[in-house]
Structure 1
Amino acid sequence: MTSVVDALADLYALVYAEPPYLEGTAQVARFRTGLPDEAARPGFRLVLAWEGEELIGAAYGWTMAAGTWWSRAKDEPPAEVRDRDKFAVLEWIVHPRHRSRGVGAELMRRLLQGRQESWATLASDPRSRANGIYRRNGWIVAGHSELPWGPSMELLVRDLRIAEEARAGTPRPDQRR
Structure 2
Amino acid sequence: MVRLYALVYAEPPYREGPEQVKHFRTRFTDDAQQPGFSLVTAEDDERLVGAAYGWTMPAGSWWPGADDTDIAAVDKFAVLEWLVDPHYRSKGIGGRLFRQLLQDRPEPLATLAADPRSPARAIYARAGWRQAGTLTLAWGTPMDLLVIET
- TM tier, shorter chain? over 0.9
In structure 1, distance between residues paired with 2:51 and 2:91: 14
Corresponding residue to 1:11 among 4, 8, 15? 4
* CA RMSD, Structure 1 to Structure 2 (Å): 0.7
- In structure 2, how many angstroms separate the alpha carbons of the residues matched to 1:111 and 1:89? 9
Higher strand share: 2
Partner of 2:42: 49
The structure in which a higher percent of residues are helix is 1
Alignment of 1:134 onto 2:134: no
TM-score (norm 2): 0.98
User: Are positions 1:117 and 2:88 aligned together?
Assistant: no
1:162-173 aligned within 5 A: none
Compute the displacement of 1:155 (Å). Answer: 0.4
Q: How far apart are the structure 1 equivalents of 2:136 and 2:74?
A: 23
Which runs of 5 or more residues in structure 1 are unaligned?
1-7, 161-177
User: Could you tell me how far 1:99 is from its partner in structure 2?
Assistant: 0.3
1:23 maps to which residue? 16
Alpha-carbon shift at residue 146 of structure 1 (Å): 1.0
Residue type at the aligned position of 2:15: L
Q: Indicate the percent of aligned positions where both proteins have the same amino acid.
A: 57
Task: Please give the alpha-carbon distance, in whole angstroms, between the structure 2 residues aligned to 1:148 and 1:24.
Answer: 18
The residue matched to 2:128 in structure 1 has which SS?
coil
Matched residue type, 2:90 = S
Instruction: Decide which structure has the larger Cα Rg and report it.
Output: 1
> In the alignment, does 2:95 pair up with 1:105?
yes
User: TM-score normalised to the size of structure 1?
Assistant: 0.83
